[in-house]
Amino acid sequence: MAGHSHFSPANVEEYFEFTAEGRKRIIYAFVAGVVALIVGVYLLSRGEGHEAAHAVAEHGEHLSGGATSHHGDYDWTNRIWANLWLNGVYFTGISVIGMFFVSIQYLAKAGWSSVVKRIPEAFPKFLFITGPVLLLTFIFKGDVIFHWMHHGITDPTSEHYDKIIAGKSGYLNQGFFLGRMVVFFVLWLVLWNWMRKKSIEEDLNGGNENFYSMVKIATGFIVLMGISSSMSAWDWVMSIDTHWFSTMFGWYMFSSWHVTGLATITLTVLLLKDKGYMQYVNFNHLHDLGKFMFAFSIFWTYVWFAQFLLIYYANFPEETIYFLERWEGHNKIYKASEIINVVFNFFFPFLVMMTRDAKRTPIFLKICCAFIIVGHYFDFYQMIMPGTIGPHGGFGLVEFGMVTIFASAFIYVISTELTKASLVAKNHPFLEEALHHDI
């Protein structure tokens, strides 16, 4: 890469063009998702509508250690809202990890990443979509997803009173929950907008002033991320199974978000490279992204296994119920998703990405990214579905349609955002280092 030394900053600009053809293909995918969702909802209404009258009495004791289940009054539409919540949480994670990745690079004053950082920098734009989706789903259908929102559950005079949930009501109540959600999204977006503005200013004006401002913004964001990633994990996912808790859950969900975000960044870089963009990204940069994916797949496995092992070994019924519900429960789809979870998210990346060459070979990286992205969708599936729809879970057109809608919307929004600035941060103080990056 020594031949790059003649590039002056002005020469390394590279602009992404979101072509009419590209737009059309994404819109077609979106429409296909909508059609699949409509057909899925229709089939669901035909298949489950008449069964809704039969409450799943045997499942009553099954949820969270003897508490009366909130699947007793199951309505077939619950599956739609659970899917909306699942995709909202999953894609929020990918979006916010874009900002987290950029912040880590600035905090570490890393040089190599200055040629790829514009990709993750565009991701948080999608928070403008997922924020309202989660907010509206919670406001209108929160009681479908969260056991603790059920009528009378914290009222000692009600037949639905639950002493354990009532004990948690100081934290788990509608107003405080909504407040936390709004604060997290607002702070994430404010810091991202500020970072993005400084980043584009740097392209225009050069100098080091913007760089130091971005280091400060990054520091603030890392602190915020430490708090918000754990609290959003407790709120949006762990509180679905209200009786159950795990002190490692914040780490667990964050590690799942993180590795999915890294895989999405890497896949985006590779796909742009295929189209002739990102020409300053060489095999060494890919190697670094590959190392990140490899390392954090193992980190996710460590957290997943540590959480599982401690619960398995202690063998307390109120803790083991979480895994029993997924492994021995009424629905085989959860057992399948647990197996996919471990195979796609650990064994596959671990064995494929172990060698140096694999991390430098685009086709291996692409396959690995695809497995990680799909595998962690199933990770979130098995976190959210058993507690929301219990034995009624499945994987059909509703799930496929919903994830296609979200994925195509994500690609469209991020592609549009990528056109707004050069793909290479041409005045980044460490750009010269990145152009000569060699490991």
The DSSP-derived string for 330-344 is S-HHHHHHHHHHHII
Q: Which residues of 10-38 are buried (b: 16+ CB within 10 A; e: fewer)?
A: eebebebeeeeeeeeebeebbeebeebbe
Q: What is the DSSP string of 265-306?
A: HHHHHHHHHHTT--TT--HHHHHHHHHHHHHHHHHHHHHHHH
Between the CA of residue 41 and those of 21, 35, 44, 391, 396, what are the distances in Å? 30, 10, 5, 18, 10
Residue 195 confidence (pLDDT): 96
Phi and psi, residue 155, nearest 5°: -100, 115
Between the CA of residue 137 and those of 88, 142, 228, what are the distances in Å? 9, 6, 20
Q: Residue 222's closest CA among 102, 110, 303, 120?
A: 102
* Residues 376, 260 contacting (CB under 8 angstroms): yes
Residue 11 confidence (pLDDT): 66
C-alpha 81 chain-centroid distance? 17
Burial of 175 (0-12, 13-18, 19+ CB in 10 A): exposed
The conformational region for residue 65 under phi > 0 = left, psi -120 to 50 = alpha, else beta, is left
Residue 8 confidence (pLDDT): 52
Contacts of 430 (CB under 8 A, 6+ apart): 109, 110, 111, 114
**Which 3 state secondary structure label does DSSP give 127?**
helix
Half-sphere exposure of 250 (CA within 13 A, CB side): 11
Residue 3 confidence (pLDDT): 43
Contacts of 203 (CB under 8 A, 6+ apart): 421, 422, 425, 426, 427
DSSP state of 89: H
Contacts of 408 (CB under 8 A, 6+ apart): 26, 27, 29, 30, 33
SS3 content of the chain, % helix, strand, coil (to 5): 75, 0, 25
Residue 75 confidence (pLDDT): 84
Low-confidence ranges of the chain (pLDDT < 50): 1-6, 10, 49-71
Residue 390 confidence (pLDDT): 86
